[in-house]
Amino acid sequence: MGLAMVALLAGYLGLSWWVGGVLLAVALVVHLRWGTPRCAPRVLAPPVRGRWMALTSPVDHVPSQGTHAYGQTHALGLVAEDGTRPDIAWRPLSRPPQDFPAFDMVVYAPAAGTVVRVHDRQRDHRSRNSWPWLIGSVLENSLRELKGPAGLLGNHVVIDVGGTYVLLGHLRRGSILVTNGDRVRAGQPLARCGNSGACTEPQVRMQLMDLSHPLMAAGLPFVWGSGWKSADPGFEGLPETWRPVEITGPDVISAVQAGPMRDYPGEVRRT
């Protein structure tokens, strides 16, 4: 795809347009036929604790973010839902990130591994959870993409978990506790939830990739193991969109095994 784009741009310099056109056609065929990895899901731990809800989930749609780019095919977007989260409205146009319960909540390592990438330069912006801002964010996100993957994913950490790479994104600037080369254990605090990158409100992005850099990575499937859906501690899967779940973490699952699963009917905020 990259070579095709270069060849098409070179058409302005006198190179035949047929070269770029043929390369682009071949690239599309390869991508559509062989471009999406197919493998068994990797079992990981939830990266957050408490009551959270998926805004985007591969359970309901793949690619979950509407694109395969930047390793986002099976990405999971999580927001805290404790009953105080502001809903979408016409006013105010935006809110400070501190108005949302997810902001500054701890983000944990979903598996043991080695930190291979840390980005911590994006500011935490105000929310985009009003109708005017949601419409305008289409253009805004296109401009953010000019910065590369970090413009969309915000501050993020990438962990090598043994042949695959977990990315945790939209983190709060200045909150990341690890650096490149650090060994981390599953459940270790890594950073805090922020509102950096292309997100409408403070949230945590989790995705699994085949390469460490999201620019060229393909997204891989993953599931959560123990530590959530307390009525069935052995359940492996992911949350559905708009259905809050209680996440306890794999280290304390035994304390809630006897409790009923909480479904929170009628309490979903669709922003």
Summarised one tens digit per residue, pLDDT across range 198-253 is: 999 999 999 999 999 998 899 999 999 988 875 565 678 999 999 999 998 765 33
Average pLDDT of every residue of the chain: 85
Measure the CA–CA gap between 129 and 268, rounded to whole angstroms. 15
> CA of 237: how far to CAs of 154, 194, 240, 244, in Å?
26, 25, 9, 14
Structure confidence at residue 41 (pLDDT): 95
Structure confidence at residue 232 (pLDDT): 60
Measure the CA–CA gap between 122 and 125, rounded to whole angstroms. 9
Q: How far is the first Cα of the chain from the last one, in angstroms, to the nearest whole number? A: 34
Structure confidence at residue 227 (pLDDT): 83
Q: Are 43 and 13 in contact (CB under 8 A)?
A: no
Structure confidence at residue 12 (pLDDT): 65
Q: Pick out the chain residues at pLDDT < 70.
A: 1-5, 7-8, 10-15, 30-36, 230-234, 250-271
Q: How many CB atoms lie within 10 A of CB 204?
A: 26
Angle at 217 between CA 58 and CA 163, to 5 degrees: 90
237: DSSP letter: B
> CA of 82: how far to CAs of 34, 85, 176, 211, 224, in Å?
42, 7, 24, 35, 21
Query: Would you kindly state where each structural domain of the chain is located, as residue ranges?
Result: 2-34, 43-256
pTM comes to 0.82
User: Which class is domain 43-256?
Assistant: mainly beta
Q: Nearest Cα to 250, choosing from 271, 230, 264?
A: 230
Rounded to the nearest 10°, the torsion over CA 94, 95, 100, 104 is: 110
Angle at 261 between CA 256 and CA 264, to 5 degrees: 125
Summarised one tens digit per residue, pLDDT across range 187-201 is 999 999 999 999 999
Q: Nearest Cα to 199, choosing from 55, 62, 71?
A: 55
Q: Nearest Cα to 194, choosing from 49, 65, 96?
A: 96
Structure confidence at residue 38 (pLDDT): 78
